Structure 1
Amino acid sequence: MKLFFFILFTFCIAISQTTNLSSNTSEKFNISGFVISAKTGESIVGANVFLDSSDYGTTTDLDGYFILFNIPKDNYNLIISYLGYKEIKRPIYINDNVDLKIELYLKPLSIDEIKVLGDEIDRKKNFQISRVKLNTLQLRNIPQIAEADLFRSLQSLPGVLTQNDFSTGLVIRGGNTDQNLILLDGITVYNPSHVGGVFSNFILDAIKEVDLQKGGYNAEYGGRLSSVLKVTSREGNSKELSGSTSISALSAQFLAEAPIKNGAWILAGRRTYFDQLFKGTDFFFPYYFYDLQGHIYQDISSKKRISVSFYKGEDNLKWDDEFGIEAIWANNTVSINYRVFHSQQLLSNWMIAKSKFNIFTGLGRNSSEGIVEKDYIDDFTFRNDWTLYLSNDKHFNFGIETKNLNFNYDSSDNGEQVFYLEQSPIESALYSKYKISTPNFLLQPGIRINHFSNLTKKWYVDPRLQIKYFINDSRYLNFSIGQYHQFMSTLQDDFNPSVIDAWFATDNSVKPGSSQQITFGIEDYRKNDIYIQCEVYYKKLNNMLTFVNKAATVNPGTQFQSYNVLDSLVDMSNGYSYGLEIFAQKKTGRLNGWINYTYSIARKIFNQKEYYTNWDRSHVFNFLGNYRLSKKWDFNIKFTYQKGQPYTPILGYYIENFPPSEQTQEVIPGGRNSVRFPDYHRLDFGAIRHYNYRGYKIDLFVQVINLYNRKNPFTHDYIFGDSENGVDDDGDGIIDEDDEDIPIKNEINGFPLLPTIGVKIDF
């Protein structure tokens, strides 16, 4: 009932505002329309649209849509510009409301071109605090290492870390990887990475825009404590059949797109071939993954569009014959979106979506009967968003979202159940936000009301606020503050590196996660297309689920128990993080890229003890650059320096005796995360040679990870040897030394020097 009244009240406001706006005087009118690419028919995001010699101006949104309000009857010159396209200057006589569809034509960019037209419009219309947006052109120009990957590009931004070399998970401003809301065309993707960390799930050539909000995001997003990563698929080429294919030492990839009736489709796929390439050799490794990503749309009319997006991916490791290891995990998502422009000023989006993430792992001589874990999360989502353009300076957004969720976790050992949990909660939210621009300020208050059926206390209110102050046309102060709640999460393990994470819903045995964030920053736009941003932030985190191993080594016969609530598996922890981020970027020109420095602290409070999180890095420096030597050659470089990550040392060990004669060696841990691994640093390098052969664009690339072969340890284990077993346990060339009875520390390093070569062909 509360939901009904909220929707009714908000809708009445929207309708009344639309009515008031429609009653313009007979001498003032609106101009609206879409800006698209003449080559592909896809919408252009962020194009500048303005009337020459006037104060009327705006930028296009994600749909390529724009609107200019209350324009007096007169003759004007309408100008549309966007980097990489020819500027359009069109005389227009305004004596009524106007709807337009404008095509922009590509133009070749000179190597040293740095001009960015009308960028001041976007600066004053939108918030850039803690935010990075990358469009198609920028994504293609980002220097890539190994193979093009979205997450690895984002990890070179300030405030963004990874747990180790073998993970593409994003650790953002001290938050765990599960505290990021990751959306593909509005669909929640729960574990969007593959084993080994070289690839995330998304295929870069099929992406239209990436929008990362590292904190302080407004009320349209919720359910996570740290950040939002919104990935939008390309719509597909509605003009002609086109595509590309590439092959490297790691994987093969394809993309195809073409028109279909009043729309277009796009399909991209990728598969690794470790399992096939080295079959029958000493290098055989029975693992592969694949991704399949697609989008199709149809325009029902000039104001209505329906589209379908989907993603399917799977990792598969089966070493059952030799080691008894089997692991399969998969993401499957699909969504249907319906977009309607009810008028020039009122837009609605409707979405139904399904996302499922499955995990199966088995360990033992027969992996399906040994230590087995089976779990999944099944998410069915309905979402409805409304946008009301009140005027050139005022926008109102509101909407609802509901998720029907199903969690299942089943762990067993040789058929004996260790842990079983099944949950079917419903998570819902309603939100509104209001953006208003004045000569000196841009303000956007918002509120999100969350409901979670699995808890006794079901309603949670999250207020949000963003403020931008205009110092002048090129310098701005930013501020954001907000509260956030999270009702599902993975389990944090302070002792072991994470590979595959299972998700759990909050139940009455634990509290939902919550965070409060505050950010202050300054942004400065300088000559030669140089952008500088400096931000400080503080984040408080509450009620994080931290894994507790409750098996008793002194009584192994009772170590397996069947639990069915989260409290039997975890304890609650709190934490906080704060930091300073300095970021400088050059988007265009012969030399482009970014450089940044981050000072940050991330601490956890658990069982009344405070310590550094596993992912704390006090100092981080990144450089990512691309140099275009000529139209035929590109060179790229990425350098990263990080303070060593914390870990818990081993102070000693003791012998534990079990009757009649069994002995085990148990370690004595030191202070949790009280020491650090050596500092991490790595240099990656790549070169690309561009060819044009009979109309085909061909890129040959050679790239090297860890150019100077730095050994970067990210974890270690201990080898328990024996001074009487006839084996050189410590690897020093001497067999059965007395010190081989002592646990031997074995460091596990990240990537060694790793070269790769490949070719990409566009047709």
Structure 2
Amino acid sequence: MTVRLTILSILMGLGVLVPQVVQAQVRYVLSGVVRGVGASEGLPGATVAVPALGIGATTADDGSYALTLPAGRHQVTVSFIGYATQTRELNLTRDQRLSFQLAEAGNTLGEVVIEGSGSLEQKLQTTQMSVDRLTAREAKLLPALFGEVDILKTLQLKPGVQNGGEGTSGLFVRGGSADQNLVLLDDALVYNPSHLFGLFSVFNSDAVQSVDLYKGGFPAQYGGRLSSVVDVKLRPGNPEKFTTSGGIGLISSRLTLEGPIKKGKGAFLVSGRRTYFDVFTRQINRLNNDDPDYNPIPDYYFYDFNAKANYKLGDKDELFLTGYLGNDVFGFNSQNGFNFDFSWGNTVASVRWNHVFNPRLFLNTTASLTKYKYQIANKLDQFGFNLSSDIRDLTLRSDLDYTPNERHALRFGVTATHHRFGTGSLQAGSQDGSVNIGSDVTYYGTEAGLYASDTYKPSDKLQLEYGLRLSGFQSGSDAYGGLEPRAAVRYSLTPNVSLKGSYALMYQYVHLVTNTGASLPTDIWYPSRQSVKPQRSQQVAGGVSWLLGDGRYLLTNEVYYKWAQRQIDFKDGAQLFVNPDLDSEFLFGKGWAYGNELYLEKKQGRTTGWIGYTLSWTKRRFPPQRGTNGINNGNTFYPTYDRRHNLTVVVLHQLNQRINLTGSFVFTSGAATTLPLGRFAFQDVAGAEPSAVPIYPERNTYRLAPYNRLDLGLVYKLKPIRSGGESDLTFSVYNAYNRRNPYFVYFDQIENEDTDEVLGYRARQVSLFPVIPSVTYNFKF
């Protein structure tokens, strides 16, 4: 009897235990989309995790995610920057779709920048390094020039990023030039992302949801540029109710409308912005119209318009439409018959189809149109001319995401772009038709890319991300191509310390034709053809990340080394406009950049912000070639955007429920520049005054004075509007202690007051912006 009971007990024990063991080995896919409350499009970069199992994933560009989990009960936690963390219990007994709607992290201004520790933990655990994410809500709290919030300028406060000059929105990332940044707006390319000659970017903060800046370790789906990727995502419209928001500032006003197309099916968003310099200048010109000695003030304004819509075609299909139109208009009409008109702008449109095959397989297909054009019209009496240049792209791309299990996340894709390069169009003539001159230089090119990548997690401590991109370009009979391997690794030494490394090889097939250090509207894009071969770069980076203070702080330290071939510059006196043989004006060389980036950030509590410090070197060398001595006699030199030291400090503090105080401090080494070493005098005509010719040393051997600036801001939340809306006043002080930072240096003559004899020369510094206070009224209802 005892034996029987013992055997029965064993069998009963096995009968209980075996089903549990078998069940534990069964795994199912949990998938879905993470959205914000009142939004129809997903949140990219959100974290979906099961902390008890140490399993997590980051949402894709469309907000989708997929996790492979053992059957049974789990606690799923979802977090995203600026949103309240959400936790949900589920019993997983089959493949299941589970979507999340995250609420904003409260109604008070201070809370919109609070980020759960899960986000810092995500940065610690992810394989991707050298990437910064910024939301529009964070940028809106920081002080801004003229009160105009600018996403790209905020990115300049991150380590490894230099600006292109005082107040400009240009980015120079890890030693790369301005044309080596891939700027995307909902997957569509933007060529000149700036207004007002670079002082502001084309991205209206009211329409932007988030921006990702990749400085290295580029994922395989990105290609075509050498230095960085700026991936901008527009906000989806509100699918539940109609809302209106905007702002009135010193130089511009904004208005955004959004609401449902059909509840539960789709939504739209339209957003516009316009400056009004011209309103005042035109009035001043009218008041002085009768004064023959009055010099009219030029007209200037810019505007941009964003639109986005999405609609669910069914349970597995969704359609997204994005549009952008922006233009800058500059005009000068004098009383003596001289007219000068200058306009430039971007047009961008894209349509994306998202299809879910099953919880493990997603497809995104995007078709986009990009166009950038500038035009100059000049007229003097009866004679006038028009000069213009443009570039137009038609792109089709498709990306497939496949998650076979919890160890692998695969991604495949293909993209093809047809380019049209209008490198110069000139029309000139007289009104009577006696003089008529015309010239038009146009090229075509086709760019294509094919890639595959895998994120592999062999263990909880080790995670790998590797991929291969095959790219190619053809213009006429000239064809180029190459393999672009990408690799990244993360190893967790402890739960709070991770080591990371990455490698990326990049090709760039289109080039910016400019003879300045910063992008201008008149710059020309030129294809790889004949002697102008694709630029190429390689970058290796390594770093360590520490999670400190119970997860409230993240400290990262990264070192990088980048080397590039076939970098482009121009001969002295090069003819860049309407030149059918432009490739003969190019010179080719090599470049190096290396440095160390130290970054500490805090995203919890009433006081948040970050401190970044970069120590870096950037070098170029163009040897003798094409009948020239090269540049700088073939010797290595520092480009103007080389900075040895770069320190940024950003602090945001919630004083109380209605007041937020913000501040940012920037210090950088002076820009490299070329100044004359001396002058020699010669007299070519008897009796004429002698001429002084400057003697220049090697290129960029001098440094301007260091740049430093303190900006302060205050956001005051007003009492709620009766209709249920909200509003605030944003006060900003740009350059609070009135630092006269150098913009450029020129020399004037020191003369004898009695004899007008030139006694010497004095260097003069030109500074652009003094202390500038501003105020903006923002509203939403």
User: What is the TM-score with the length of structure 2 in the denominator?
Assistant: 0.85
RMSD after superposition: 3.2
Given that 2:82 and 2:114 are in contact with CA atoms closer than 8 Å, whether structure 1 keeps it comes out as no
Q: Hey, what does 2:670 align to over in structure 1?
A: 644
Q: Which moved more, 1:440-449 or 1:171-180?
A: 440-449
Q: Hey, what does 1:4 align to over in structure 2?
A: none
2:304 partner amino acid: D
Q: 1:429 to 1:712 in 2, by over 3 A?
A: same
SS of 1:210's partner is: strand
1:429 paired to 2:427: no
Q: Hey, what does 1:280 align to over in structure 2?
A: 283
The whole-number CA distance in structure 2 between the counterparts of 1:490 and 1:223 is 13
1:377 paired to 2:404: no
Given that 2:143 and 2:712 are in contact with CA atoms closer than 8 Å, whether structure 1 keeps it comes out as no
Q: 2:643 pairs with 617, 625, 630, which one?
A: 617
1:154 paired to 2:155: yes
Q: Hey, what does 2:19 align to over in structure 1?
A: none
Deviation at 1:619, TM superposition (A): 0.8
The whole-number CA distance in structure 1 between the counterparts of 2:642 and 2:345 is 29
Q: Hey, what does 1:472 align to over in structure 2?
A: 494
Q: Hey, what does 1:554 align to over in structure 2?
A: none
1:289 paired to 2:302: yes
Deviations 1:341-374 (A, max 9, x none): 111111111111010110123567479835x531
- How many percent of aligned residue pairs carry the same amino acid? 28
1:355 paired to 2:376: no
Q: 1:755 pairs with 747, 751, 773, which one?
A: 773
Q: Which moved more, 1:660-669 or 1:122-131?
A: 660-669
The whole-number CA distance in structure 1 between the counterparts of 2:325 and 2:181 is 20
Q: 1:114 to 1:190 in 2, by over 3 A?
A: closer
Q: Hey, what does 1:407 align to over in structure 2?
A: 421
Q: 1:391 to 1:109 in 2, by over 3 A?
A: farther
Q: Hey, what does 2:239 align to over in structure 1?
A: 238
Q: 1:124 to 1:677 in 2, by over 3 A?
A: closer
1:134 partner amino acid: L
Q: 2:715 pairs with 688, 701, 715, which one?
A: 688
Q: 2:320 pairs with 297, 301, 307, which one?
A: 307
1:550 paired to 2:573: yes
Q: 1:427 to 1:50 in 2, by over 3 A?
A: closer
Deviations 1:132-165 (A, max 9, x none): 1124554455554532110110001111011101
The whole-number CA distance in structure 2 between the counterparts of 1:534 and 1:521 is 5
Given that 1:539 and 1:576 are in contact with CA atoms closer than 8 Å, whether structure 2 keeps it comes out as yes
SS of 1:438's partner is: coil
Given that 1:143 and 1:624 are in contact with CA atoms closer than 8 Å, whether structure 2 keeps it comes out as no
Q: 1:75 to 1:579 in 2, by over 3 A?
A: closer
The whole-number CA distance in structure 2 between the counterparts of 1:560 and 1:417 is 18
1:244 partner amino acid: S
Given that 1:162 and 1:171 are in contact with CA atoms closer than 8 Å, whether structure 2 keeps it comes out as yes
Q: Which moved more, 1:171-180 or 1:108-117?
A: 108-117
Q: Which moved more, 1:307-316 or 1:521-530?
A: 521-530
Deviation at 1:122, TM superposition (A): 2.9
1:493 partner amino acid: N
The whole-number CA distance in structure 2 between the counterparts of 1:671 and 1:637 is 39
1:460 partner amino acid: G
User: What is the TM-score with the length of structure 1 in the denominator?
Assistant: 0.87
1:334 paired to 2:349: yes
1:458 paired to 2:491: no
SS of 1:342's partner is: strand
Q: 1:736 to 1:749 in 2, by over 3 A?
A: farther
Given that 2:273 and 2:303 are in contact with CA atoms closer than 8 Å, whether structure 1 keeps it comes out as yes
- Segments of 5+ residues of structure 1 without an aligned counterpart are 1-23, 552-558, 722-729
Given that 2:117 and 2:552 are in contact with CA atoms closer than 8 Å, whether structure 1 keeps it comes out as no
Q: 1:70 to 1:77 in 2, by over 3 A?
A: closer
Deviation at 1:45, TM superposition (A): 3.9
Q: Hey, what does 1:32 align to over in structure 2?
A: 31
The whole-number CA distance in structure 2 between the counterparts of 1:420 and 1:569 is 18
1:464 partner amino acid: R
Given that 1:685 and 1:704 are in contact with CA atoms closer than 8 Å, whether structure 2 keeps it comes out as yes
SS of 2:98's partner is: strand
Q: 1:25 to 1:380 in 2, by over 3 A?
A: farther
Deviation at 1:327, TM superposition (A): 1.8
Q: Which moved more, 1:173-182 or 1:419-428?
A: 419-428
Given that 1:586 and 1:592 are in contact with CA atoms closer than 8 Å, whether structure 2 keeps it comes out as yes
Deviation at 1:630, TM superposition (A): 1.0
Deviation at 1:59, TM superposition (A): 3.9
Q: Which moved more, 1:507-516 or 1:41-50?
A: 41-50
SS of 1:693's partner is: coil
1:712 paired to 2:728: no
Q: 1:715 to 1:675 in 2, by over 3 A?
A: same
Given that 1:353 and 1:381 are in contact with CA atoms closer than 8 Å, whether structure 2 keeps it comes out as yes
The structure with the larger Rg is 2
The whole-number CA distance in structure 2 between the counterparts of 1:40 and 1:496 is 38
1:210-229, aligned counterparts within 5 Å?
210-229=211-230
Q: 2:563 pairs with 511, 515, 540, which one?
A: 540
Deviation at 1:54, TM superposition (A): 3.6
Q: 1:658 to 1:625 in 2, by over 3 A?
A: farther
Q: 1:348 to 1:296 in 2, by over 3 A?
A: same
The whole-number CA distance in structure 2 between the counterparts of 1:175 and 1:430 is 25
Q: Which moved more, 1:322-331 or 1:459-468?
A: 322-331
Q: Hey, what does 2:60 align to over in structure 1?
A: 61
The whole-number CA distance in structure 2 between the counterparts of 1:600 and 1:82 is 32
- Segments of 5+ residues of structure 2 without an aligned counterpart are 1-22, 286-295, 430-435, 623-629
Given that 2:188 and 2:349 are in contact with CA atoms closer than 8 Å, whether structure 1 keeps it comes out as yes
Deviation at 1:245, TM superposition (A): 1.5
Q: Hey, what does 1:565 align to over in structure 2?
A: 581
1:436 partner amino acid: Y
Pairs aligned (count)? 720
Deviation at 1:299, TM superposition (A): 0.8
Q: Tell me: higher relative CO, structure 1 or 2? Use CA pairs within 8 A at least 6 residues apart.
A: 2
Q: Which moved more, 1:493-502 or 1:666-675?
A: 493-502
The whole-number CA distance in structure 1 between the counterparts of 2:123 and 2:226 is 27
Deviations 1:147-203 (A, max 9, x none): 211011000111101110142110001100000000000000001011254421001
1:698 paired to 2:698: no
